[in-house]
Structure 1
Amino acid sequence: MVSFRARLVLLFAGLAGGALAISMVAVSLATSSQSERTVERELEVSQRVFIEVINARGAQLLQAAEVLINDFAFREAVATRDQATIISALINHGERIGTDLMVLQSPNGEEIAATHEPSSLPALAQLTQRLGTSTLVNVDGQMFQLVTVAVRSPDLSAWATLGFQLDDALATSLRRLTGAEVSFVVTSTGRVLASSLAPADQDWLQQAMLLPSEPYQRALQQRDWANRTLPLRQTELVPAGDSEVNILFSIDYAEATAEFALLRQQYIGIAIATLLMALVFASVAARRINQPVARLTNAAERLRKGDYNEPVAVTGDYEFVQLAETFDAMRSAVSEREKHIVYQVEHDLLTGLPNRTSLQKLIRSLLERQQPATFVILNIVRFREINDRLGQRIGDQLLKLVAQRLKSFQADDNSIARLAGDEFVLVLRGQRRAEREVLIDRLQEEFQHPYSIDKSRYPLQCRLGIVQLPEHGDNFDTLVRRAQMCSSAAKLQQLSVVEYEPGMDEQHMRRLRILQALPNAVTEQNLQLHYQPKIAAADGRVIGAEALLRWRDDGIGVVRPDEFIPLAEQTGEITPITAWVIQAALDQLQLWQEQGFDFVMAINLSAVNLQEPELVESIQQQLKRRHIDPSKVTFEVTESALMVEPELAIAKLAELRALGVKISIDDYGTGYSSLAQLKRLPVDELKIDRSFVQDLAISDIDLTIVASTLRLARDMGLTTVAEGVEDEQAWQLLRDKNCDVLQGFYFSRPLAAAQFDKWLKEYLRAHK
């Protein structure tokens, strides 16, 4: 394979030889073409210079004419036809600017004063069409540049025409400016009106102009002249209709192209010298070029492989050194850009923590080494609500502050990352369970301290989902999914920490299927109400029923209320579900009333329902439409629901109570309400939770709690309901403690409407 250096030598020699071979033809063609273009350009420049000179003289002539017509004495003389004053003014102005022609005509064209006969000029109408503009005209065989202006005092008094003669002297001065001979020729007769040519040349030109076109061109070639003809009719310098005069620009071709002939000779010598020098210096140049190029090639190969560490150094000519420095600067810039891009790819731009990509690499590395670790997902409680209410700016600042606190947990064995949104991840390595629990407790304790932004304090809470690797997953996606599942379970169960246990996947998948089916539960008529009777404790009468929601889905099967109600509250589907429950329960209550049963219907409301603006109005309309006495309807609300938005809940319950319906606190004793809170609630009824009633006959503590609750309710004027009554002994104890209403499996489990009607008939027959 031929080396680069040898190829360079061959290239130089070939280029020099090829240049010599084609230089003669190239130079000949180029100089011939260039000489023709140069001659043509000189003629064109001569034409432009001529026009500019004529325009400049026209401007001078126009300025002189305006000075004349603006002279007050002259205008008065014209108005009064003072011949002596007119002639004196014309002579004075003419001598001042050296005009050769001056004519003053009346508005109808009659001569007032003139150096030439007005009849020899173009018609007055033609001159006035070009008022204030210079014009070239043939006057009695002589060329003049004229300007015609109006004399007003103040109406039109006369037309003044001033002119310069275009003679041989002017043509000669133009030749000195343009470098070309200038001639004014009458086309029909060939007569030369003025020219910079010698008299003999003028005679030859006059004869040649009479020849036809082709002989005329041959005559010019034989004389070695290059001509350019400018007909006056093609310019703006001639009145309309005058097409007799051409302006001829002439150049001696040999004289104009003499420099190109010399250039051709010089170029031939240079080409031969270049060939000889190329052969001498080709080898030296090839060696000097090859060395730095080889170094740059090696550097480029290193960059291609991703090696940005070794600097690019080249010695030699300045150009190669400069190229090497530029190449090295590019290496540094590419290296920095790549580091920056990698950082952005692997880090969260808001908090500066490693992101999902970086976390995925870490987990993959731990799994490959089978290194045990704890994977913790941290969710900020109700962060979306904070972000919506306070704005994204506050939300972003809170996330930054959370990230700063989490960084204090970062160590050699711990890693922190932001997964997405309000989800952060801690990876704890090489720690025993006790140490891990201490660290998690410290993390939760850290969140108990409020965050300060703009002198405002924001308390935050977190929920943790924990998985262990490698036993809880062999890939990143599985670990994340299970940790998120634990975090969601912590939210549902109102816990701070939930750790993954085998079998939770099935529960999680079931929740996902429930979430997917919830939106269609109402429209597909999969919901059903069951009714559990309420019994008067004193005499065992059936005084009403509680409407309890049941759901059976074809794909999922039976779904318990404690499974789907919390999910419905989270997704907002509880609103249409509750609306359906209220409608169906009131329809059943209306039916029972029409059948003669004076029942009270108890209906459950959730925390989300208490935040609905249209809830009270909707219930009022439904009661009116069915003609149901509001006092026959009781809405049950759990203590925990009241604690979500206490003020809003109390206000909404007060509105409901104002309609005449009853309000009941469900599961009393299991929530967090205090006696002071209970005092503020607009309620009519307390419902004792089944957990205190089921073991009432064998537990003195439960009996004490129930007895004190019943006394409290009686002192506050509230009706009491005990649920979970499973036997007659519990009934007797509750009746002795003055409980008002009983509810439980001892009387009946919740039944569908048709089964409830059947049970009611049997119960009434048995208790006649």
Structure 2
Amino acid sequence: MRISFRSRLLLLFISLAGGVLLATLIAVTFATEKQAELTVERELAVSERVLGELLKRRGEQLEQAAQVLADDFGFREAVASGEQATLVSAMVNHGDRIGTQLMALYSVDGEELASTHALPTGTDFSALRGVRLIDGELFQLITVPVRAPDVIAYATLGFIIDDQLADALKQLTNTDLTFFDSQGQRVLASSLKQPLQQELLTAAGQDQLTAWLEEQELAGHLSTFNAIELLVSTSRLDATQAFQNLRTQYLGFGFATLLVALVLAIATARYFNQPLARLTQAAEALRRGRYDAPLNLKRQDEFGQLGATFDTMREAIADREQRIVYQLEHDLLTSLPNRESFYKNLQQRLTARQSGVMLVLNIMRFRALNDRLGQSFGDQVLQHVAKRLREVFAADCFVARLASDEFVVLCDTAAEEQLGASLKTLQRTRWHVGEASYRLEFRAGTVRFPEYGAEVDVLLRRAQLAAQLARAEKQLLASYQQGSDESYLRRLQILQALPDAIASRKLQLHYQPKIDCTTGRVVGTEALIRWQHEQLGVIRPDEFIPLAEQSGDILRVTRWVCEAALNQQQYWLEQGVDVQMSVNLSALDLQSDDFVQFIATELDKRHLDAFKLTLEVTESAVMADLEKAQQRLRELRELGCKIALDDYGTGYASLAQLKHLPLDKLKLDQSFIRGLNSNESDRIIVQSTLTLAHQLHLHTVAEGVEEEAAWLLLQKMGCDTLQGYYFSRPLVAVEFEQWLINEAPKFNVKEKKAFNDD
């Protein structure tokens, strides 16, 4: 490989300067680090000596003070005579004068005569001195004999060793002192900050003190005083700051030297830099996307060869860039412009204030066609549709593929009237794929711009809403009308507000009573969720529950409902109201692995019987994952909870599946109950369902009872429990309690009069 002169010159200068700088830096670093370590060790050693000397001086002072007390004639007389009041008075007065915190007097036999602290039993008081742990505090003790003239007692005095003393020592030694008990996990006295004290205890308890010191960038010596550990520590950073400054200054000097060498090398090679500058300019033009400017560097040396190679590379990049741009802006399967091109084209029209119409087109049941006949067949269908779209729409219309089977067409206002005719032509087309012929069905929606929007995303959403309307009404084409997306925006607002409503407990439970069909007694209640929003007003459960299931928030909603309902049930039980509580579950709840444990925990927390909780599930929730639903319901039933199948008759559970579900109750949907008095078919369905349920040993519940005639009929048919507005609408807890007192007794009868068909 040939290296140019400029490169060799720059390399020589930089290598020489860098080599010298690196060697010197290594030497300086090694020397300063070694000296810094010696400095740290010296500081710690000096600190330990100062501490030892200070404790020694304090011990001498303490011993002199203790000796003064022991030599006091009145004190000795009090000791000899055993006058407790005189002893205490003398010890307190003397302690106040010398500032000691611990004073104790023990007889020669070890009997306590007077003491401010409880000294350990079994202690040899004649030798009690030094640093000791007394009543959870650290003291420096001294003990002197009291003679009269023989030894008649031992007097012990002690100064406390606390954070104040540690801070004072830190001012003298510039190091932190920490007295601690690693076994008892206590810091007795320390000048360290509070968080570091707790971390020190944790590290010492795990025999990781050395690692902790390194992590905190500390150096320390550990010693022991009568089972009390002392850590003398100092910051490595503070101790080595001077050496760090030295290294920083040297680095600055070295980089300055390196910079001078680099400037000298550049100045020397500048004369040879012209071809490199031209190459750099050509490379910059290439980076900016200019591929039409040849370099033409006519030289016979290596720069000339580099120029020729560069031109060849420029031509190859230009060709590849064109292919990449095409692929970025077009759908590779259909060769139509893609979503990116559509956004760009529509944005240009909006910026230029052009008016026009957007059409979004979908192929009906394309996914089923793709799954049934294969991916390759579906790709061919999309290619044929794309080709036909280009043919049937005007040449000035922009046709693009958005995703999967969704296409979009942009036309000016003049072409809007032709859209319907073009779509009908497309609808009548027979599609030949291989040797087979197929007929496809389309649904399309249109929106005019800028009349109904000046943003790409808004217009696209509104066109898609119109296409959804066409699908719902089974029309080929539907146009967006003002206000059509209000329901969409409301759903979006509900989705955004729901997490906060759950977290802030802005949801509310209402309770609807359940009545024994025979006696009219209240036997239970169903907890029904309600939501009153500040801006959106009343949000019905059938409006936000499906959205919560889509977003996954239904798991949190159900758990909140369970907690609130069980809290209310517990309160009512304490007030003497014993009712069965019913709570509704969703399909996602039945698929949650920890839901059974959650219910068990909540029941146990409130000391509630599981059989007093009924969990209601709909047929659709069970059928979402039948196998897992059966397993989860079986686990809940084994826990003791009652399981009810809600809205029976409106879903798609077969009798065979019903037989294998672990159920206790069957709830008849209100659509059969409301017409019970006037519709013979409803009566036949209800009677047969009740008979079937009883043969399967299932308790039956009829919801939607709104008149007494329905009650009488259901009683005659053998229904077990009733629920509906005839008895009460869903009530808040306080209103429910009032209803129990004022209204419930009206329905409490031994047996309703038999229903008279005449």
Alignment TM-score, normalising by the size of structure 1: 0.47
Alignment TM-score, normalising by the size of structure 2: 0.48
State which structure, 1 or 2, has the greater radius of gyration over its C-alpha atoms.
Answer: 1
